[in-house]
Structures are given as C-alpha cells and as structure tokens.
C-alpha cells in the first residue's frame, strides 16, 4: 500500500523566519519531492479586510484569510489532486499575480501565521513546527522585508506591529506553541535545527542522497 504524503505545518510570528526555513528545506531536497503551500496565497481581497478603530486595514486576523479554502485545497493535495491558485501580491500596484500549480508530492510543507489556529488545517499535519525569535528580532526583520519587498514605510510597519501583529501573535499563535512537535529558535540562525528537520524529511520521503542545506 502506497503511503500518503507527509504533511508538515510551519507556524511562527511575522519575521520569525517561516518562509526562509521552508525555502532552505526545499533547496535541500530533490526537485519534485516537496510541495509548498503558503497561507499568504489565501488572503481575502482588500475590500473584505477588517478595518480597525483608526481606519487602518488589519490583515493580521484569522478572518483575513480563507482558511477553510486552504483546508479544502490541502485535503485535495493529500488525496492526489492538483490545486491551482493565484499568487497573493500584497496589494502592490502594478505587480501581476502569477498562476500557481500545486501538485501531490511526498512532502507537503504548509506555512503561515494561522495554520495551527484552524482546527481543520491543524488536524492534517503529521508534524507541527513552531519557529520563533525574540520580538525585537522579528520587528527588525519585518522592517527590512516590508521596505524592500512590499514598499511599506517605517511608520506604517511600526503601526501594524503594535496594533495588529503583536496582538495576533499573542492571541492566535502562542496558544498553540505547546502543541508543536519541534521548536526552531531563529534568533540569529536556524541552521542546526533545520539540519535535523531536513534529515527527517529526507527519510520520510525515501531520499538517500545528500543535498547541501541552503543557509539564509
């Protein structure tokens, strides 16, 4: 009997290193071994986002994301069906969303802020990973990322951090930390922990060859 895919959920706060960890694991496994599902590609359109008391859009709430749709697509992938999505562009003017095709593979990595908060998604994971760093380290990374990749100004990032990001982290992520199988501390580097995770995934995928780990 053929074994189904090994499904790994990677959760952590904004700036903790979720995407970097997932990228490094993909680089360390042969092509076709891993499918990555990003919660970011399930954000509802801007007009459906919550507006806070100061008139600012708040994307750091579970309701900002189509988590039910993510759960359904993940179930389809596990069953062997392909999934087609449009990339989320973080509302950047002029950036065209590319089409994404997700296909069944031995390892499925699912990353996002709220993937543990949603029971339907959480129940599909064979392994739960929580990546974390101190709040100052996360803020520093978010400031750099949002300025270079998303065109956000410093004051906008700081406002979101105080009013949206930290409350979401404390309300919708930390309560599930104790349910995770592996904690990855990424204050300066996640190299050692990711090597352990890489070797585990290689074993679960039946991969024997050694592939260098990408360090970020």
Domain ranges of the chain: 6-204
Q: How far apart are CA 75 and CA 38, in angstroms?
A: 14
pTM listed for this prediction? 0.88
Confidence of residue 207 (pLDDT cuts 50, 70, 90): confident
| The total number of residues written for the chain in this structure | 216
CATH topology of domain 6-204: Rossmann fold (3.40.50)
Q: Report the share of the chain in percent with pLDDT over 70.
A: 91
Whole-number average pLDDT of the chain: 90
Distance between CA 96 and CA 80 in Å, rounded? 29
Read off φ and ψ for residue 65, nearest 5 degrees: -120, 145
pLDDT tens per residue across span 100-120? 999 999 999 999 999 999 999
DSSP 44: P
The predicted-structure confidence for 47-73, as pLDDT tens digits, reads as follows: 999 999 999 999 999 999 999 999 999
Bridge partners, residue 108, by sequence: 7, 35
Q: Kindly report which listed range (34-43, 96-105, 180-189) carries the lowest average pLDDT score.
A: 96-105
């Amino acid at each position: 009997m053929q074994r189904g895919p090994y499904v790994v959920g990677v959760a952590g706060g904004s700036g903790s290193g979720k995407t970097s960890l997932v990228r490094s694991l993909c680089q360390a496994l042969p092509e076709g071994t891993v499918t990555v599902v990003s919660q970011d590609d399930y954000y509802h359109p801007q007009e459906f986002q919550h507006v806070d008391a100061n008139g600012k859009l708040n994307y750091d709430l579970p309701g900002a994301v189509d988590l039910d749709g993510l759960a359904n697509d993940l179930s389809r992938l596990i069953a062997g069906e392909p999934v087609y999505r449009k990339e989320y562009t973080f509302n950047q003017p002029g950036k065209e969303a590319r089409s994404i095709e997700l296909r069944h593979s031995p390892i499925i990595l699912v990353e996002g802020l709220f993937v543990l908060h949603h029971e339907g998604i959480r129940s599909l994971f064979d392994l739960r990973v929580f990546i974390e760093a101190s709040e100052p380290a996360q803020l520093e990374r978010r400031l750099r990322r949002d300025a270079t990749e998303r065109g956000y100004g410093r004051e906008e990032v700081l406002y979101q951090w105080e009013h949206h990001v930290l409350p979401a982290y404390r309300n919708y992520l930390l309560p599930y930390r104790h349910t995770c199988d592996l904690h990855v501390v990424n204050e300066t580097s996640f190299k050692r922990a990711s090597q352990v995770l890489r070797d585990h995934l290689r074993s679960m995928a039946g991969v024997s060859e050694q592939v260098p780990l990408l360090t970020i």
